[in-house]
Amino acid sequence: MPYNIIVLIKVIPDLEQIKPNPTTGEIVTDRTPLRLETLSENAIEAAVQLKEKYGGKVFGLIFGKPESAPMLKKAFAMGVDDGIVITGYKGNNPVYTAEVLCGKIKGMQYDLIIAGNQSADTYTGLLPGIISGKLGINLLGNALTIALEERKIRVKSTLEKKIQNLNATLPAVVSVTQETNQPRLPPVMQIMAAGRKQIVTEAAQPQTMTGTLQISNKAPRSERKRQLYEKPEEGIAAVVRAIKEEIR
Partner 1 sequence: MKTLIFSDDGEIAAQISSYLKEGFENTIVTLKGEEGKCRRSGARSMFIFTGQPTASGLSLALKKLKDQNSADLVFIGSTAIGRDTAGLLAGSGGFKPLSEVTSVQFSNGKATTTRYLYGGKSVLTEESDSNLFVVAPGISEASLTENETEITEISLDQSPVTVEGEDQKSTGGADIEKAKVIVSIGRGLGKPDGLKLVEQLASAVKGEIAGSRPVCLDYHWLSEDRQVGLSGKKVRPRLYIALGISGQIQHIAGMRGSRTVVAINKDKSAPIFEECDYGLIGDLYTIVPKLVTALTS
Ligand X SMILES: Nc1ncnc2c1ncn2[C@@H]1O[C@H](COP(=O)(O)O)[C@@H](O)[C@H]1O
Question: Which helix (H) or strand (E) covers residue 230, if one does?
Answer: none
Interface with ligand X by CB under 6 A: which residues? Answer: 8-10, 37, 39-40, 43, 61-64, 89, 94, 97, 115-116, 118-119, 122-127
Cβ distance to partner 1 smaller for residue 77 or 153: 153
Rounded Cα distance between 11 and 13, Å, is 7
When asked if residue 175 is in the footprint of ligand FAD (CB under 6 A), the reply is no
Task: State which of residues 6, 8, 11, 38 lies at the interface with ligand FAD (CB under 6 A).
Answer: 38
116 scored as a contact of partner 1 (CB under 8 A)? no
Rounded to a whole number of angstroms, the minimum distance from the CB of residue 97 to ligand FAD is 17
Q: In whole angstroms, how close is the CB of 189 to partner 1 at the nearest point?
A: 30
How far, CA to CA in Å, does 16 sit from each of 36, 91, 194, 212? 13, 19, 26, 26
CA-CA distance, 103 to 142, in Å (whole number)?
24
In this complex, which beta carbon is closest to ligand X, that of residue 201 or of residue 235? 201
Q: For residue 126, state whether it binds ligand FAD (rule: CB under 6 A).
A: no
**Nearer Cβ to ligand X (93/145):** 93
Give the nearer residue to ligand FAD in terms of CB position, either 68 or 118. 118
Residue 124 CB coordination number (10 Å): 15
| Bond prior to 2 in cis (omega within 30° of 0) | no
Please tell me whether residue 177 binds ligand FAD under the rule CB under 6 A.
Answer: no
| Residue 53 interacting with partner 1 (CB under 8 A) | no
Q: How far is the CB of 99 from ligand FAD (least distance, A)?
A: 24
* Of 165 and 198, CB closest to partner 1: 165
Q: Which residues, listed in sequence order, are joined to residue 173 by a DSSP beta bridge?
A: 113, 139
Sheet holding 82-87, edge to edge: 152-158, 138-149, 172-176, 112-116, 3-9, 56-64, 82-87, 201-203
Residues 153, 168 contacting (CB under 8 angstroms): yes
Question: By C-beta, is 214 or 227 nearer to ligand X?
Answer: 214
Phi and psi (nearest 5°) for 139?
Answer: -115, 125
Size of the site for partner 1 (CB under 8 A): 82
Residue 120 sits in the site that holds ligand FAD (CB under 6 A): yes
Contact assessment for residue 201 and residue 84, using Cβ atoms and an 8 Å cutoff: yes
> What is the end-to-end Cα distance of the chain in Å, rounded?
65
Residue 103 within binding range of partner 1, rule CB under 8 A? no
Question: Least distance to ligand FAD from the beta carbon of 36, Å?
Answer: 11
Instruction: Give the residues lining the site for ligand FAD (CB under 6 A).
Output: 38, 118, 120
